[in-house]
Amino acid sequence: MDGEVVSAPTGRDPTLEYACRAPLALALERALECRIYRGRRLQRPVLDVGCGDGTFASVWLGDVAPIEVGLDPDGAECRRARRSAQYRLVLQATGGGIPLRDCSVATVISNSVLEHIPDLDTVLDELRRVLRPGGLLHITVPTDLFERWSTLTRLLDTLGVGAASQRWRAFYNRFWRHFHCYPPQVWRERLERKGWVVEEVLPYGTPGQCTLHDMLVPAAFPAYLVKRWTGRYFLAPGLRRRLVRTLRGLLPADGDLHACPAKVAGCVFLCARRPPGG
Protein backbone atom coordinates (compact mmCIF):
# COMPACT_ATOMS: atom_id res chain seq x y z
CA MET A 1 0.00 0.00 0.00
CA ASP A 2 3.00 2.32 0.51
CA GLY A 3 3.02 5.01 -2.15
CA GLU A 4 -0.57 4.37 -3.27
CA VAL A 5 -3.22 7.04 -2.89
CA VAL A 6 -6.50 7.10 -1.02
CA SER A 7 -9.51 9.09 -2.19
CA ALA A 8 -13.20 9.05 -1.35
CA PRO A 9 -15.70 7.62 -3.84
CA THR A 10 -17.90 10.16 -5.59
CA GLY A 11 -21.68 10.31 -5.53
CA ARG A 12 -22.06 9.79 -1.75
CA ASP A 13 -23.94 12.20 0.53
CA PRO A 14 -21.86 12.65 3.71
CA THR A 15 -24.59 14.64 5.44
CA LEU A 16 -27.12 11.84 5.06
CA GLU A 17 -24.67 9.12 6.06
CA TYR A 18 -23.33 11.03 9.06
CA ALA A 19 -26.84 11.89 10.27
CA CYS A 20 -27.58 8.15 10.34
CA ARG A 21 -24.62 7.56 12.64
CA ALA A 22 -24.26 10.66 14.83
CA PRO A 23 -26.30 13.55 16.30
CA LEU A 24 -27.19 16.14 13.71
CA ALA A 25 -25.01 18.86 15.28
CA LEU A 26 -21.93 16.67 14.84
CA ALA A 27 -23.07 15.28 11.50
CA LEU A 28 -23.38 18.70 9.84
CA GLU A 29 -19.92 19.76 11.01
CA ARG A 30 -18.22 16.53 9.99
CA ALA A 31 -20.03 16.46 6.64
CA LEU A 32 -18.36 19.78 5.80
CA GLU A 33 -14.98 18.17 6.54
CA CYS A 34 -15.86 15.19 4.34
CA ARG A 35 -16.60 17.59 1.49
CA ILE A 36 -13.23 19.28 1.96
CA TYR A 37 -11.53 15.94 1.27
CA ARG A 38 -13.77 15.17 -1.70
CA GLY A 39 -11.62 14.71 -4.80
CA ARG A 40 -8.34 14.89 -2.88
CA ARG A 41 -5.86 12.05 -3.41
CA LEU A 42 -3.84 11.45 -0.25
CA GLN A 43 -0.66 9.43 -0.46
CA ARG A 44 -0.36 6.38 1.77
CA PRO A 45 0.54 5.62 4.49
CA VAL A 46 -1.93 7.95 6.21
CA LEU A 47 -2.04 8.86 9.91
CA ASP A 48 -5.36 10.11 11.35
CA VAL A 49 -4.60 12.11 14.53
CA GLY A 50 -7.61 12.21 16.84
CA CYS A 51 -9.38 9.42 14.95
CA GLY A 52 -12.11 8.95 17.58
CA ASP A 53 -14.28 5.90 16.99
CA GLY A 54 -13.57 5.75 13.25
CA THR A 55 -16.87 7.24 12.10
CA PHE A 56 -15.24 10.04 10.11
CA ALA A 57 -13.02 7.64 8.18
CA SER A 58 -15.97 5.35 7.58
CA VAL A 59 -18.22 8.10 6.18
CA TRP A 60 -15.43 9.79 4.26
CA LEU A 61 -14.04 6.65 2.62
CA GLY A 62 -16.91 4.19 2.56
CA ASP A 63 -15.61 0.84 1.29
CA VAL A 64 -12.16 2.14 0.34
CA ALA A 65 -9.34 0.06 1.84
CA PRO A 66 -8.59 1.04 5.46
CA ILE A 67 -6.05 3.76 6.06
CA GLU A 68 -2.91 2.82 7.87
CA VAL A 69 -2.92 4.39 11.35
CA GLY A 70 -5.48 5.96 13.66
CA LEU A 71 -4.34 7.66 16.86
CA ASP A 72 -6.42 8.82 19.82
CA PRO A 73 -5.77 9.29 23.57
CA ASP A 74 -9.16 7.83 24.58
CA GLY A 75 -8.98 4.09 25.18
CA ALA A 76 -12.71 3.51 24.66
CA GLU A 77 -12.65 5.37 21.35
CA CYS A 78 -9.60 3.36 20.26
CA ARG A 79 -11.44 0.10 20.93
CA ARG A 80 -14.37 1.31 18.84
CA ALA A 81 -12.02 2.44 16.07
CA ARG A 82 -10.49 -1.04 15.98
CA ARG A 83 -13.93 -2.61 15.67
CA SER A 84 -14.76 -0.20 12.84
CA ALA A 85 -12.04 -1.80 10.67
CA GLN A 86 -11.25 1.62 9.16
CA TYR A 87 -7.59 1.47 10.28
CA ARG A 88 -4.90 -1.16 9.89
CA LEU A 89 -3.46 -0.02 13.22
CA VAL A 90 -5.01 2.01 16.05
CA LEU A 91 -2.70 3.54 18.66
CA GLN A 92 -3.75 4.96 22.01
CA ALA A 93 -1.46 7.96 22.48
CA THR A 94 -1.40 11.73 22.48
CA GLY A 95 -0.23 13.87 19.59
CA GLY A 96 2.73 14.93 21.70
CA GLY A 97 4.14 11.41 21.88
CA ILE A 98 3.31 9.46 18.73
CA PRO A 99 4.72 5.90 18.89
CA LEU A 100 5.84 5.82 15.25
CA ARG A 101 9.28 5.98 13.65
CA ASP A 102 10.66 9.14 12.11
CA CYS A 103 9.43 9.77 8.54
CA SER A 104 7.07 6.78 8.70
CA VAL A 105 3.92 8.29 7.12
CA ALA A 106 3.29 10.18 3.90
CA THR A 107 0.13 12.04 4.95
CA VAL A 108 -1.33 13.29 8.25
CA ILE A 109 -4.95 14.33 8.71
CA SER A 110 -6.40 15.88 11.86
CA ASN A 111 -9.98 17.12 11.98
CA SER A 112 -11.16 19.46 14.76
CA VAL A 113 -8.45 18.23 17.13
CA LEU A 114 -5.54 20.66 17.41
CA GLU A 115 -7.65 23.38 19.04
CA HIS A 116 -8.12 21.07 22.05
CA ILE A 117 -4.38 20.52 22.69
CA PRO A 118 -2.77 23.00 25.11
CA ASP A 119 0.83 22.40 23.96
CA LEU A 120 0.23 22.92 20.26
CA ASP A 121 3.87 23.53 19.28
CA THR A 122 5.00 20.18 20.69
CA VAL A 123 2.35 18.39 18.66
CA LEU A 124 3.28 20.26 15.47
CA ASP A 125 6.90 19.20 15.99
CA GLU A 126 5.86 15.59 16.55
CA LEU A 127 3.69 15.54 13.43
CA ARG A 128 6.60 16.91 11.45
CA ARG A 129 8.86 14.19 12.87
CA VAL A 130 6.67 11.26 11.77
CA LEU A 131 5.88 12.78 8.38
CA ARG A 132 8.22 12.12 5.48
CA PRO A 133 10.03 15.06 3.87
CA GLY A 134 7.65 16.41 1.25
CA GLY A 135 4.64 14.84 3.00
CA LEU A 136 1.41 16.73 3.62
CA LEU A 137 -0.43 17.71 6.78
CA HIS A 138 -4.19 18.42 6.49
CA ILE A 139 -6.01 20.02 9.44
CA THR A 140 -9.40 21.56 10.16
CA VAL A 141 -9.66 23.93 13.13
CA PRO A 142 -11.97 26.69 14.40
CA THR A 143 -11.18 30.33 13.88
CA ASP A 144 -11.59 33.08 16.45
CA LEU A 145 -15.14 33.58 15.10
CA PHE A 146 -16.47 30.11 15.82
CA GLU A 147 -17.90 31.06 19.20
CA ARG A 148 -18.80 34.52 17.82
CA TRP A 149 -21.54 32.82 15.79
CA SER A 150 -23.01 30.86 18.70
CA THR A 151 -26.69 31.52 19.34
CA LEU A 152 -26.30 33.29 22.67
CA THR A 153 -23.37 35.40 21.49
CA ARG A 154 -25.37 36.66 18.56
CA LEU A 155 -28.32 37.43 20.83
CA LEU A 156 -26.18 39.31 23.34
CA ASP A 157 -24.47 41.27 20.57
CA THR A 158 -27.84 42.19 19.10
CA LEU A 159 -28.97 43.44 22.51
CA GLY A 160 -25.81 45.53 22.77
CA VAL A 161 -24.47 43.93 25.95
CA GLY A 162 -20.88 43.50 24.79
CA ALA A 163 -19.41 42.72 28.21
CA ALA A 164 -21.83 39.82 28.73
CA SER A 165 -21.09 38.61 25.21
CA GLN A 166 -17.34 38.55 25.90
CA ARG A 167 -17.84 36.63 29.15
CA TRP A 168 -20.04 34.09 27.38
CA ARG A 169 -17.50 33.62 24.58
CA ALA A 170 -14.75 32.98 27.13
CA PHE A 171 -16.96 30.45 28.96
CA TYR A 172 -17.90 28.82 25.65
CA ASN A 173 -14.26 28.13 24.80
CA ARG A 174 -13.49 26.87 28.31
CA PHE A 175 -16.47 24.53 28.20
CA TRP A 176 -15.46 23.03 24.84
CA ARG A 177 -11.76 23.07 25.79
CA HIS A 178 -10.81 25.30 22.88
CA PHE A 179 -7.26 26.40 23.69
CA HIS A 180 -6.55 27.68 20.20
CA CYS A 181 -9.01 29.69 18.09
CA TYR A 182 -7.23 32.00 15.68
CA PRO A 183 -7.93 33.88 12.45
CA PRO A 184 -6.88 31.88 9.36
CA GLN A 185 -3.76 34.01 8.91
CA VAL A 186 -2.63 33.35 12.49
CA TRP A 187 -3.13 29.58 12.04
CA ARG A 188 -0.94 29.88 8.95
CA GLU A 189 1.73 31.75 10.89
CA ARG A 190 1.69 29.16 13.71
CA LEU A 191 2.45 26.43 11.18
CA GLU A 192 5.11 28.43 9.36
CA ARG A 193 6.94 29.23 12.60
CA LYS A 194 7.31 25.49 13.16
CA GLY A 195 8.87 24.94 9.76
CA TRP A 196 5.83 23.98 7.70
CA VAL A 197 5.24 25.29 4.17
CA VAL A 198 1.55 26.19 3.97
CA GLU A 199 0.15 25.39 0.53
CA GLU A 200 -3.57 25.97 1.01
CA VAL A 201 -5.83 27.93 3.36
CA LEU A 202 -9.57 27.34 2.93
CA PRO A 203 -11.87 29.28 5.29
CA TYR A 204 -15.28 27.64 5.64
CA GLY A 205 -18.20 27.51 8.05
CA THR A 206 -20.53 30.41 7.33
CA PRO A 207 -22.13 32.30 10.22
CA GLY A 208 -25.41 30.52 9.47
CA GLN A 209 -23.78 27.08 9.51
CA CYS A 210 -22.02 27.78 12.80
CA THR A 211 -25.20 29.10 14.41
CA LEU A 212 -27.21 26.10 13.22
CA HIS A 213 -24.60 23.76 14.67
CA ASP A 214 -24.77 25.58 18.01
CA MET A 215 -28.58 25.50 18.08
CA LEU A 216 -28.55 21.73 17.54
CA VAL A 217 -26.01 20.95 20.28
CA PRO A 218 -28.53 20.76 23.19
CA ALA A 219 -30.52 18.13 21.31
CA ALA A 220 -27.32 16.09 20.93
CA PHE A 221 -26.52 15.76 24.64
CA PRO A 222 -28.80 12.71 25.21
CA ALA A 223 -27.01 10.90 22.38
CA TYR A 224 -23.62 11.77 23.89
CA LEU A 225 -24.75 10.30 27.22
CA VAL A 226 -26.00 7.16 25.49
CA LYS A 227 -22.63 6.75 23.79
CA ARG A 228 -20.81 7.17 27.08
CA TRP A 229 -22.89 4.38 28.61
CA THR A 230 -23.26 2.04 25.63
CA GLY A 231 -20.50 2.92 23.17
CA ARG A 232 -22.89 4.13 20.46
CA TYR A 233 -24.99 7.23 19.96
CA PHE A 234 -28.32 5.51 19.39
CA LEU A 235 -29.91 2.55 21.17
CA ALA A 236 -31.75 1.61 17.98
CA PRO A 237 -29.38 2.51 15.10
CA GLY A 238 -31.57 0.77 12.53
CA LEU A 239 -34.55 2.90 13.54
CA ARG A 240 -32.37 6.03 13.44
CA ARG A 241 -31.27 5.18 9.90
CA ARG A 242 -34.84 4.64 8.72
CA LEU A 243 -35.98 7.89 10.37
CA VAL A 244 -33.16 9.93 8.81
CA ARG A 245 -33.77 8.49 5.36
CA THR A 246 -37.49 9.20 5.70
CA LEU A 247 -36.78 12.82 6.66
CA ARG A 248 -33.79 13.31 4.35
CA GLY A 249 -35.59 16.18 2.61
CA LEU A 250 -35.18 18.24 5.80
CA LEU A 251 -31.39 17.87 5.79
CA PRO A 252 -29.19 20.49 4.12
CA ALA A 253 -28.57 19.52 0.51
CA ASP A 254 -25.22 17.97 -0.30
CA GLY A 255 -23.01 19.79 -2.76
CA ASP A 256 -19.56 21.13 -3.40
CA LEU A 257 -17.93 23.04 -0.59
CA HIS A 258 -17.58 26.74 -1.30
CA ALA A 259 -15.16 28.76 0.77
CA CYS A 260 -16.57 31.74 2.62
CA PRO A 261 -14.65 34.97 3.27
CA ALA A 262 -12.02 34.67 5.99
CA LYS A 263 -13.50 37.70 7.76
CA VAL A 264 -16.64 35.70 8.67
CA ALA A 265 -15.50 32.04 8.55
CA GLY A 266 -15.95 30.01 11.72
CA CYS A 267 -13.51 27.28 10.63
CA VAL A 268 -10.49 26.88 8.40
CA PHE A 269 -8.80 24.03 6.55
CA LEU A 270 -5.05 24.19 6.05
CA CYS A 271 -2.75 21.99 3.99
CA ALA A 272 0.96 22.25 4.82
CA ARG A 273 3.99 20.41 3.52
CA ARG A 274 7.07 19.27 5.38
CA PRO A 275 9.93 20.76 3.37
CA PRO A 276 11.87 18.12 1.39
CA GLY A 277 15.06 19.09 3.16
CA GLY A 278 13.49 19.86 6.54
* CATH classification at residue 135: 3.40.50.150
Q: Are residues 52 and 190 in the same domain?
A: yes
Q: Are residues 262 and 140 in the same domain?
A: yes
Q: Is residue 187 part of a domain?
A: yes
| Average pLDDT of adjacent 10-residue blocks, the chain of 278 residues | 73 88 94 90 96 95 90 97 96 97 97 97 97 97 96 95 94 96 97 97 94 95 93 94 88 73 95 91
The predicted pLDDT at position 2 comes to 67
Distance CA 13, CA 248 (A): 11
Q: Are residues 174 and 185 in the same domain?
A: no
Distance CA 148, CA 17 (A): 29
Per the DSSP assignment, residues forming a β-bridge with 138 are: 109, 271
What pTM, to 2 d.p., does this model score? Answer: 0.94
The predicted pLDDT at position 3 comes to 67
The predicted pLDDT at position 256 comes to 64
DSSP alpha helices (H): ranges in the chain?
Answer: 14-21, 24-37, 55-61, 75-84, 120-130, 151-159, 162-175, 184-193, 207-230, 237-246
Q: Is residue 186 part of a domain?
A: yes
The predicted pLDDT at position 1 comes to 60
Q: Are residues 132 and 156 in the same domain?
A: no
Q: Is residue 89 part of a domain?
A: yes
Q: Which domain holds residue 51?
A: 5-144+181-273
Q: Is residue 278 part of a domain?
A: no
Distance CA 10, CA 128 (A): 31
Q: Is residue 66 part of a domain?
A: yes
- Dihedral angle over CA of 206, 220, 87, 257, nearest 10: -20
Distance CA 159, CA 233 (A): 37
Eight-class DSSP state of 5: E
What CA–CA distances, in Å, run from 217 to 50, 68, 72, 133? 21, 32, 23, 40
Eight-class DSSP state of 65: P
Number of domain units in the chain: 2
Q: Are residues 167 and 69 in the same domain?
A: no
The predicted pLDDT at position 39 comes to 81
